[in-house]
């Protein structure tokens, strides 16, 4: 692209002469009282000059925009922790660890939790296997899910596919459970601890 620039061809002497700061070099008459003759000012000359190049566009950095999860996905995710009963009884003699297969118990708690969140099972059936804070979180989330999304239709009930347990000590275990819930596979993480002769889940995470 180009632009038009007016560029007058006027020397410094002509500018001073026009301002009356220089005496004329020649006179057209012999009358000394006559005003000095002014030099002719040429018309400006048009010249084509190129325009400066346009600034380059800015490229945005950072991570790409991600689509937020749906409402159903946000409601189905749960993180609940309540270790207060175990911590309150920390100064008590915990004795021997409770009987029972922790692997089987972890699978049952994980499956029951997924069923409660989906509206297939009553939350009260979890009360004896989880601490009060975990039970309250699961109960509230299940009620909210049913109120917002409605009860789930007749689909295949959840089924446990894999359970892995890591023993922390004789009174604490952590488990990861894979649960098939209809058309999706969900991961459930648990922390199971002994409290007054019984196993209870003190932390539950459902993804």
CATH number at residue 151: 3.10.450.50
pLDDT for res 12: 55
Q: Are residues 202 and 113 in the same domain?
A: yes
pLDDT digits (tens, 9 = 90+) for 96-110: 889 889 999 999 999
Q: Are residues 28 and 104 in the same domain?
A: no
Listed in sequence order, the residues at least 6 apart from 185 whose beta carbon sits closer than 8 Å to its beta carbon are 161, 178, 179
pLDDT for res 27: 47
Kind and range of the H or E element at 132? helix 132-149
CA atoms within 13 A on the CB side of 62: 4
Per the prediction, the chain carries an average pLDDT of 79
Q: Are residues 171 and 104 in the same domain?
A: yes
Kindly state the average pLDDT of the residues 41-60: 67
Q: Are residues 13 and 87 in the same domain?
A: no
More confident site: 207 or 30: 207
Position 109 in a domain: yes
Domain that holds residue 45: 2-50
The pLDDT confidence band at residue 148, using thresholds 50, 70 and 90, is confident
Position 58 in a domain: no
Kindly state the average pLDDT of the residues 151-158: 73
pLDDT for res 125: 92
Measured CA to CA, the distance from residue 30 to residue 48 in angstroms comes to: 45
pLDDT for res 129: 94
pTM to 2 decimal places: 0.64
Best CA proximity match to 181, nearest among 98, 100, 118: 118
Q: Please give the structure tokens belonging to residue 54.
A: 């346009």
Position 66 in a domain: no
Number of folded domains that form the chain: 2
Measured CA to CA, the distance from residue 156 to residue 182 in angstroms comes to: 6
Position 41 in a domain: yes
Q: Please give the structure tokens belonging to residue 153.
A: 């239709």
Q: Are residues 39 and 109 in the same domain?
A: no
Position 37 in a domain: yes
Q: Are residues 36 and 79 in the same domain?
A: no
The pLDDT confidence band at residue 81, using thresholds 50, 70 and 90, is very high
pLDDT for res 95: 79
Residue with tokens 């009860």: 151
DSSP characters over 105-127: HHHHHHHHHHHHHTTSS-GGGGT
The pLDDT confidence band at residue 203, using thresholds 50, 70 and 90, is very high
pLDDT at 77 over 90: no
More confident site: 58 or 179: 179
The pLDDT confidence band at residue 182, using thresholds 50, 70 and 90, is confident
Measured CA to CA, the distance from residue 203 to residue 104 in angstroms comes to: 17
pLDDT digits (tens, 9 = 90+) for 11-40: 555 655 555 555 554 444 445 555 565 656
Q: Are residues 139 and 108 in the same domain?
A: yes
Q: Are residues 179 and 84 in the same domain?
A: yes
Position 63 in a domain: no
Best CA proximity match to 204, nearest among 136, 125, 151: 136
Measured CA to CA, the distance from residue 138 to residue 117 in angstroms comes to: 7
Q: Are residues 112 and 172 in the same domain?
A: yes
Position 82 in a domain: yes
What distances in angstroms separate CA 197 from CA 21, 53, 60, one per listed residue? 114, 80, 59
């Amino acid at each position: 692209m180009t632009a038009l620039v007016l560029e007058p061809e006027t020397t410094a002497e002509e500018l001073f002469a026009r301002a009356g700061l220089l005496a004329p070099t020649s006179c057209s008459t012999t009358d000394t009282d006559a005003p000095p003759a002014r030099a002719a000012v040429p018309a400006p000359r048009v010249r084509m000059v190129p325009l400066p190049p346009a600034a380059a566009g800015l490229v945005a950095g950072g991570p790409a925009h991600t689509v937020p999860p749906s409402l159903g996905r946000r409601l189905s995710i749960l993180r609940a922790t309540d270790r207060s009963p175990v911590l309150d009884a920390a100064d008590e003699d915990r004795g021997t660890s409770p009987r029972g297969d922790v692997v089987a118990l972890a699978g049952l708690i994980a499956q029951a939790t997924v069923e409660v969140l989906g509206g297939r099972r009553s939350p009260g059936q979890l009360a004896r296997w989880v601490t009060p804070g975990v039970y309250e979180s699961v109960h509230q989330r299940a009620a909210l899910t049913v109120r917002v999304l409605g009860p789930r239709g007749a689909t295949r009930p959840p089924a446990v596919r894999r359970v892995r347990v890591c023993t922390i000590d004789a009174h604490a275990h952590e488990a990861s459970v894979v649960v098939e819930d209809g058309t999706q596979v969900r991961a459930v993480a648990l922390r199971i601890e002994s409290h007054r002769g019984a196993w209870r889940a003190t932390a539950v995470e459902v993804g």
